[in-house]
Each structure stands twice: as C-alpha cells, then as structure tokens.
Amino acid sequence: MGGREKLRRWRISFHKSFSAAPTKPPPPPEFLCPISNSLMFDPAVVTSGQTFERVCIQVCLDLGFTPTLSDGSKPDFSTVIPNLTLKTAILNWCSKSGSERPNPPVYTDMESIIRPLLENHENDQVRVSERELLKGVSDTPRVLFSHAASEEKSRNLYSSTSSEESVIANGTPLLPFATRPSCFSYSSSPSTSSESIPDELTSSNNISASSSSSSEDETFVNRMKSLDVYEQEQAVILLRKTTRTNEEARVLLCTERLLLALKQLLNSRYAAVQTNATAALVNLSLEKGNKIKIVRAGIVPFLIDILKNGFGESREHAAGAIFSLSLDHENKTAIGVLGAMQPLLHELRSGTLRSRQDSALALYHLTLVQSNRVKIMKLGAVGILLGLLSDAEVAARVVLIVCNLAACDEGRAALMDANAVECLVGVLRNGTELDSESTRENCVAALNSLSHGSLRFKGLAKDARVAEVLREVVEKGSERTREKARRILEGLRGREVAEEVDWEAVMEGGVASYRVGRMSHGINSTDEDYVCVRNLGFFLDMGNSPYVFSMINRDPFGKREELERTHDSKRSQTDLIQFNFDLIIFFYSKI
C-alpha cells in the first residue's frame, strides 16, 4: 500500500514537472525545408532562389521530380550552392532558443516523403526527359531553329531529369530564373542554319563516348583554322548543330585547343562566322563542367568586345553566353573584373528583346557578388534600372537586380537617393503588366530591404503611400508576399511611437523618463519604450567644438538609451534650440 502511494506521488510530481517545462519556440519558417518541412541541416540555394535541404534536392534529382511549392512555383535544381549564411543562422537560433541542432537527414527518409508527391503528380503532368524532347525536336528542324519566344512556350510543357541544365515545367513563367539563354541555338535566317551543311560534314555529327576527344575536336579545329572563310563558316555551323543536341559532344569537344580556335573566330569580320561561333559557344557553356573552363580559356573579353562592336545577332548570343557563364559562382567575380558590367548594362537599355532579357539575367547573377554591386553602382546604373521598371519587357528581371542592390548598405543608400521607393510602389500599383506573383514578391522584398536600418525610408514611404499599396498586397498576395508586406507595415507603425515627446520638459528637468509609446508587436507586447535623458547640460566651446554625447545602459533589445551631455552654465537660447534639434536627430536615429 505504501509502495502504491509512493508511486502515485511520483507520478503526480512527474506530471507537474512536465507541464511546467517551458515550451520551445517554433523555428522560423525560412529555417524549414519547403519539401520536408523540417529544420535544415545542410541548406542549399538552387537556381530559382529557394533554399532546400541538400538531401531533398538530391532525391528530387534522382527521381527526376520537380515539386510544386506552396506558392505554386516550381524550383530549378540545375545549380546547387551551399547556403552557409543560413546554416549559421539556424545553428545560432538553436543555441539561443535551446532547441536541438538538426541531425543529418537520412536519404531513405527523404525519399519516403518525396516519392508519394511524385506519384500524386504523375497522372496530372506530362513528364518527358530532356533527351526525348531534344530527339523529338531534332526530327523537325524548323521548330528547332524557331524564334526563341516560341521555344520558351514549348519549354513550359516539359520537365527534365537532367541535374545539370534542367528545363522546368510549371505554370509560372520560365523567367526570371531561367538557366538557358533566350538565344539558345535559334537561327534568324536560312543562311546560318545547320540545314545548309553539306552531307560530307554532317557525317561527323554522331559523337559517341567511345570516341577519342582529341580526334573529334581535331576535325573542327582544322576546319576553323582554315584560311577559307566558307570552310570556317561550315565548321562553326556544324559545331553549333552538334552541341545543340548532344550533351556528350559538349563535354568531349570543350577542349583547350578547340576553345582557342573558336576564340579567334569570335573576332571574325564575317557576320555568319561570328554569329555561329558565338552561338556554338553558348551551347558549350550549357554544360556545367564547361563554364569555368571557358572563362579560364580567356573567352570573356572576346564576348565583351562582341557586345560592344559585334553584329546584331552575335550580340544576342554574347549576352546569352555571359548569362550562362555567370551561373557558376566561381565565374561571377572574374566576369565583373574583366569589364562585362558596362556593356551588359548598355545592351539591357538598347538591345533586342532577347539580348535585353539575357543581359538582365546576367547582371542579376553577377550582382549576387558584392564587388559587382559596387561596380554597377559606380557606373550610375541605379537610375537606369529604376527607369526600366516601367518597361514590361524587362521589368520582371530588372527588379531582381534591384533586390540584390538593396541587400547592401551602399545599394540601399543609392536606391534611396534615386527614389526607388516610389518606383517600386508604382510597379506594385500598376501591377497589370507584372509577369507573375514572384515578381510582386520581389518588389515587396526590395521595399523590405530598403526599410532596414534606414531613417529615410519612413518619409519616402509616406510620400509614396506605401502603406496603401501594401495593405492591398496583404489582402491579395501569396503567403510569402503577404508576410513581407506585414513586416514593412509593422516597421512603419513601430517608428511612430515617439511622436509626442515633450522636449521642453526634457530640457528643463533634471533626470527624467518620458514615455514614448507602447510596443504593438515584438517579443514583449506589453513592454513600454522609454527614453531616459539625463540633462547634465551640454558642452559648447564658443560655437566651434562638437557636441559631446555618449550612449550608456543600453539593454539587449536596444529599447532603452541614456544620453549624457555636458553644457556650459551660460548657454544661450540659440544653443538650447541647437541642442534640442541634435537630441531629436540622435533619438530618431536609434529607434
């Protein structure tokens, strides 16, 4: 009996201890993998901008599956880059919140989550491998060499199993996160089409893995080095056709000596030779393993020269080639150093539709690197980019560049100076020409970045009536867009908590605390903000010495500040007004 009582007491004690245990906060949504919905151990960014658990990406690639996310978009897994910043943020959050750090996910566990998603969509979606797609297209050459716009439409009908350069099938527009240039192997005239290649040349079109790469590229190299312009033209046309449909050929033919021979033809004075040589280079660059090899071969300066002085169609292919090469992270800095930013910006303003689109995407990928952001701002590009937001042909791509610039302090300052807030709000307000929900989200994301740590944003936002537009976004936008819009609105409301401070009382009192307002959001919603001003006077050396102040006793949330100033006992009324003004400026810069 006594034992049962002890057991019962132990159970009661255990129950109380368990119920009293503090509940751990849920992880932020951005720390969760969109597929597995679990805290990410090894987050990785894909080409389309989303972040996933790396194992989930690998499972999707192995299964040839492109999942549909909660916002209706589909990711592009062609490029996978470790997101070390997010990984560090996750580990820091775990340490601060007392949560367990995520464990390495097991491949089979992720497969058991993803495979049912694949089975549910197989009956509703046409899935064809890229090889089957290209094989079918090669049977109808007129479609193969059609205008790039028609190629974009056809791509939306298919899904690729290739992990290198996938063709994504989804309901949202292919761009802005395309992985292939708009100019990808199209021809505008029969004179440059591979259909004009003689039979004796096309007999070498079949390149197998068993063939020696040295013998295969020798055929092309010898013809490209010929002094006969016609022979050069036919060689680059054949190279263009071969690499258009044959992935193995892209790998086998991308040799040092072929790139050297091809590089010389990029300077050709003959339009057909230069155009087909540049287009062949685009095809070679589609293979992930070739991107760094092409840059190291010294091709980029020739592409830049084509952008500046080349033939019209050649410029389109040159912009597409730089875009394709910029997808590799290791190439971004090198391309910027070699001087690609200015000609790309010029092509974005005045090129053809295809070259403008590829130039915009090239600039987007290049400005993911801070050094290139600085370069493009020094070129005076901020005003140009904001002006292009009203251009429906490139607005969806240009806003991505604006987002990159808004991610750094220098970019935010330059964008503020150029009235970016009003421009972005104008795009949201006139949203009928926006390409997709992702574009609206990018506009809101840019505004969100501009609002961070900027005292100027509130005034600019008020003038542009940002709150009015964002309330509409909160009502009609996607979940992620609504979340970003709410953050901006909360930030704008949070900056209004200090509008009624009695500064005359501050000056007349000794040590006093003035209530500024009540927090309407945040960790402790019932806490009140106070600014404690210790009026010890202020030091003035006959109008020339700076005012001295120091900040003390700042709590971890930055909600309490004390300003200490010393003053001369004989300060004038003018000095008092100046001190009052300085105090206001300092206070507002800290909230």
Q: Per-residue confidence at 582, pLDDT binned at 50, 70, 90?
A: low
Position of tokens 């389309």? Answer: 48
CA 186 from centre of chain: 27
Is 569 or 490 the better-scoring residue by pLDDT?
490
Residue range 172-205, pLDDT digits in tens: 333 444 566 766 645 434 344 434 444 444 444 4
Q: DSSP code of 509?
A: S
Distance CA 488, CA 470 (A): 8
Residue range 83-135, pLDDT digits in tens: 888 899 999 999 988 888 999 998 888 888 888 888 776 545 434 333 443 34
Distance CA 355, CA 317 (A): 7
Distance CA 50, CA 444 (A): 16
Distance CA 381, CA 438 (A): 23
CA 566 from centre of chain: 49
Distance CA 181, CA 365 (A): 13
Q: Going by DSSP bridges, is the β-strand pair 560-564/528-534 parallel, antiparallel, or unpaired?
A: parallel
* pTM check: above 0.85: no
Distance CA 104, CA 55 (A): 9
What three-state secondary structure class fits 118?
Answer: helix
| Domains of the chain, CATH where assigned | 29-122 (3.30.40.10), 386-496 (1.25.10.10), 503-590 (no CATH)
Residue 560, φ and ψ in degrees, nearest 5: -125, 135
The one-letter amino acid at 280? A
Answer yes or no: is pLDDT of 283 > 50: yes
Three-class HEC string of 341-370: HHHHHHHHHHCCHHHHHHHHHHHHHHCCCH
Answer yes or no: is pLDDT of 391 > 70: yes
Do 313 and 304 meet the contact criterion of CB atoms below 8 Å apart? no
Q: Residue 121: what pLDDT?
A: 61
Q: Kindly provide the b/e burial profile for residues 60-81, where b requires at least 16 CB atoms within 10 angstroms of the residue's own CB.
A: bbeebbbbbbebebbbbbbbbe
